[in-house]
A and B are shown apart, each in its own frame.
Chain A
Amino acid sequence: MFKFFVVGLVTCYTMATWFGWEPGSGKRGFIPTEARQQPGGYRSYHYWRGGK
C-alpha cells in the first residue's frame, strides 16, 4: 500500500518539478489579438491603463 503511495508521490513531485507546476500561479491570460495589432501593440498605454 505504502509502496504505491511512494510511487504516486514521487511521480507527482517529478512531474510537478519537470513541468514547472506552480500551485500559486494565477490563470494564464492572453492579450487580445486586436490589442496586439494596435499601434504600440501590447506596450500601449491604453492597454495597461484600462484596456486589459
Chain B
Amino acid sequence: MSGYRGSCPSCGAAIVFALGTSLLRVCEHCGVAVARKGANLAAYGRVAAVLPTPSVLKLGMDGRYEGAPRFTLVGRLQLDYGSGTWDEWLMGFDDDSWAWLSEAQGRFHYMAAVAVPPLPSFSQVRAGQTLDLGSGTFVVTEARRARFMTAAGEMPFDIEPGQILNYVDLSGPGGQFATIDYGTGNRPEAVYVGREVSLAEIGIREIVSEEDRQVRVQGQNLSCPQCGGPIEVRVPDQTQRVACSYCGSLLDATQKFAVLNAAEAVGFEPTIPLGTKGTLDGVSWTAIGAMERSVTFEGVRYPWREYLLYEPQRGFRWLVESKGHWSFVEPVNAGDVRGRATPSHRGIRYEHFQGGQAVVDHVVGEMYWAVAIGDFVTAADYIAPPHMLSFEEDEHNNEITWSRGTYKEPSEIQAAFGLSGRLPRRDGVGPHQPSPWQGRVGAIWTQAVFGAGVMFFIFMWLLFGSMHTVYQQKVAIPPRAISGSPEAAVFTEPFVIERPGNVQIKLSAPVANSWIYIDGALINEETGGLDEFDLEAEYYFGSDSDGSWTEGSNVGAAYVGAVPAGRYVLRLAPQWPPGLAVGNYDVTVRSRVPRFTYLFLATVLLFAWPLLAAWGAFRFHVARWSESDHPVFQSGE
C-alpha cells in the first residue's frame, strides 16, 4: 500500500493514510477526523468513540481473498439506520485497491466497487424494485438513510461524521448482494457488489477472543429497570431489544436497557421456554425470544407466535406456531425469488395463500432488531407444501424480506425441545401442512387402473378363448302334459364338459304374456353329482294410455359353479300357467362363461378405494384453502 503521511491539523501527531486512495482518517491521538484536501489536511472535529460491539474483527487484521493481494483491515465505519447500528470494515489491499467487509448479526459480506451503471435516483427507488447492475438483475431489499455515526482508521470518502447517507441494498441471484451508495445526495456515487463470506474464506483466522468480546459488552445493567427482574441476554453482541420475561416491558439493549415500552405483565407465555435448547435437523438451536403477531380480518384477530432461535455458526432462525401448526423458518435471498404473483424459489413454484398486515402484539426475550409493539408489515404467504414462502414489506416501504418455512410435526418440536406439557392442539389444516394423500392418489389410481386392466383381460380371454357351447337342444313339451308333471320332464342327451369351470344353462322360450319355469338339474353321469337350478322366462306386453309397453324377456339363464369335467345330462321339468301352452323351448349349455356382473362388481370394489382417497384429498385441499384468500367454496354470507 502506498501511504500518505502528514500531521494532524488538530494535535500535530503524525497521520499515515495506509491507502493512497483514502480521503479521511481518524487521528489515533486526538480522535479528530482528518480529511485530505488536495495536498492539505483539514480537521472535521472530534468523532465519537466506536460503540463497544463485541465484533470478532479489529483494525490491523489481515487476510487474503480469492487470489487478490493481501489485505488489511484499515478502517471501521459505524452507521446507524435509526433502529440499530452496524459495522463496515474497510479492506485495504496491498495493490492500493479496497473493498468493504460488512458485519451484521454475525454474518459478513464482501463488497467490491464496480462501475456505476445507469440507475434511478435515490428518491425513485422502492423496495422490491428490480435493477440491472450490469452483472445481473438485483432486487431492492432495502432503501434507507443511515447516519455516519463514527469511524476508526481511514475511509475512502470525505464525509463529515454525523451526516446522513443514502443507500440501497439489493439481493441478486446465487446469493449475491449489492449496495448502491448515494452518499449524502440523490444520485448514485458508487456501486458495490459481492456476496456473503465466512472469515475462513477471506483468510482471517485469528479473531477477537470470546472473553475480549464479552468484556466489551459488560457493564450493562442486567436487571429490568421497570420491575427489577433479572434479564438474561444470551446473544449480547447482536441483541437490540429485550422484553422482560417478568413484566413484559420492552427495553433497548443498545442503550443500557432503557425502557421503551413499560408493561405490567407478559403478553403471553411461550410454549417453548426461553433458553431452551432444541435440535432440529441436526442443529442445536436456543430459543432466545418470542413474539406474538396477528392479522385482523373483518374484525377477527388471527394471532400466531414466533420463536427466535439462535445458533452461533448459523445465526438466527424462526419457529412459528399458528393454530398448533409449526414451521421452521429460514431467511431467503430475495434475489433468488422469481416473480411475485406465483413466486418460484429453488425451482419450486409457490401459490399465493393469503396476505394482510401483520402487527407485533407482544414480545418476550431478545430480538436482533429494534422491534416495537405495534410494528406492522405488509405480509403475503405463498405455499408449496411442505414449504411456505413469506414476503414482508415494512410499513415505510423501505425494506422487503423473503423467508421460507418448512412444516414441522408438533411431535418433532416436542421431542426436539423436550417439552413435557401439551402443545397447542392442531386446529384444522395448516397452510403448508403436507397432505397425507400427497403423491398417493395418483399412484392409487394407477394401481386401480392396472388391476382393472388385468381383470378385463382375463374376462376377454375367457370370453373369446375359453368359453364354448357344450350342448344345445330344442325341447318339445308333450301336447297333453300337465304343468309340473313328470310327463312334461325330459332328460337331455349326454354331453361332455371337457374343462372344469362354471356352466351356464340358457333358456329361450316363445312366451307371450306368459311364463315358463323349469326346475332343472345338472347330473354327472359318472359320479352322480347333482346341481339343481331354476330357469325362468316371462314376457308381457300391451298398451295403455302411455303407449305400448313390454316387461320381462323370453330368455332366462342359470349358472352352476365349479363344475368338474365329465359326462353330464340335464333334467328339465317345466311348469307354465294353466291353460296356456308353451309348446317348446330351447336349451343351450355353455362352459366356462365369464360373468360380466362379477367383473363389474370387482371393478366397483377396486375403484372404491381410489374414489375414497380422491375424496379425502379433496377434503384436505378444501380445509387447507378455507383459511386462505382463495377458498375453494366461498362463504354463503
Our pick among B502, B571, B602, B606 for the contact of A22 (Cβ within 8 Å) is B502
- CA A38 – CA B514 in complex, angstroms? 38
- CA A35 – CA B610 in complex, angstroms? 55
Contact B602 A13, beta carbon cutoff 8 Å: yes
Our pick among A9, A20, A30 for the contact of B529 (Cβ within 8 Å) is A30
Q: Closest CB-CB distance, B467 to chain A, in whole Å?
A: 11
Contact A3 B605, beta carbon cutoff 8 Å: no
Q: Closest CB-CB distance, A19 to chain B, in whole Å?
A: 6
Residues of B within 8 A of A6 (CB): 447-448, 450-451, 606
Q: Any chain A CB within 8 A of the CB of B454?
A: yes
Residues of B within 8 A of A49 (CB): 486
Contact B523 A13, beta carbon cutoff 8 Å: no
Q: Any chain A CB within 8 A of the CB of B5?
A: no
Residues of A within 8 A of B486 (CB): 45, 48-49
Name the residue among A13, A23, A29, A30 with the largest chain B CB count within 10 angstroms. Answer: A13
Q: Closest CB-CB distance, A1 to chain B, in whole Å?
A: 9
Contact A48 B489, beta carbon cutoff 8 Å: yes
Residues 424 to 467 of chain B near chain A (Cβ within 8 Å): 443-444, 447-448, 450-451, 454-455, 458-459, 462
Contact B530 A31, beta carbon cutoff 8 Å: yes
Q: Closest CB-CB distance, B383 to chain A, in whole Å?
A: 27
Contact A33 B528, beta carbon cutoff 8 Å: yes
Residues of A within 8 A of B571 (CB): 43, 48
Residues of A within 8 A of B523 (CB): 31, 42
Residues of A within 8 A of B530 (CB): 28-31
Contact B559 A24, beta carbon cutoff 8 Å: yes
Q: Which one of B8-16, B398-406, B591-599, B617-625 is at the interface?
A: B591-599
Our pick among B447, B528, B613 for the contact of A42 (Cβ within 8 Å) is B528
Q: Any chain A CB within 8 A of the CB of B255?
A: no
Q: Any chain A CB within 8 A of the CB of B498?
A: no
- CA A44 – CA B568 in complex, angstroms? 17
Residues of A within 8 A of B503 (CB): 20
Interface size class of B (residues with CB under 8 A): 35 or more
Secondary structure at the A interface, as helix, strand, loop or mixed, is helix
Q: Closest CB-CB distance, B533 to chain A, in whole Å?
A: 8
Our pick among B447, B462, B527, B561 for the contact of A30 (Cβ within 8 Å) is B527
Residues of A within 8 A of B458 (CB): 13-14, 17-18
Contact B528 A36, beta carbon cutoff 8 Å: yes
Closest A residue to B595 using CB positions = A17
Contact B527 A19, beta carbon cutoff 8 Å: no
Q: Any chain B CB within 8 A of the CB of A39?
A: no
Q: Are A10 and B447 also in contact (CB < 8 A) when A20-B592, A43-B491 are?
A: no
Residues of A within 8 A of B459 (CB): 17
Residues of B within 8 A of A19 (CB): 500-501, 562
Q: Are A2 and B561 also in contact (CB < 8 A) when A19-B500, A30-B529 are?
A: no
Residues of B within 8 A of A13 (CB): 455, 458, 598-599, 602
Q: Are A21 and B562 also in contact (CB < 8 A) when A2-B444, A28-B529, A30-B530 are?
A: yes
- CA A47 – CA B273 in complex, angstroms? 91
Contact bitstring B555-597, A, C-beta under 8 A = 1, else 0 = 0000111110000000101000000000000000000101100
Closest B residue to A2 using CB positions = B444
Contact A20 B563, beta carbon cutoff 8 Å: yes
Contact B559 A17, beta carbon cutoff 8 Å: no
Contact bitstring B301-336, A, C-beta under 8 A = 1, else 0 = 000000000000000000000000000000000000
Residues of B within 8 A of A26 (CB): 531-533
- CA A36 – CA B526 in complex, angstroms? 10
Our pick among B491, B501, B527, B573 for the contact of A20 (Cβ within 8 Å) is B501
A-B contact sample (16 more), CB < 8 A, given A21-B561, A28-B530: A2-B447, A3-B447, A6-B606, A10-B455, A13-B458, A13-B602, A14-B454, A19-B500, A19-B501, A20-B502, A22-B560, A22-B561, A24-B559, A36-B528, A48-B486, A49-B486
19 pairs, A vs B, C-beta closer than 8 Å: A2-B443, A2-B444, A2-B447, A2-B448, A5-B609, A7-B451, A13-B598, A13-B599, A13-B602, A16-B598, A18-B458, A18-B462, A20-B501, A22-B562, A25-B559, A29-B530, A31-B523, A32-B528, A45-B486
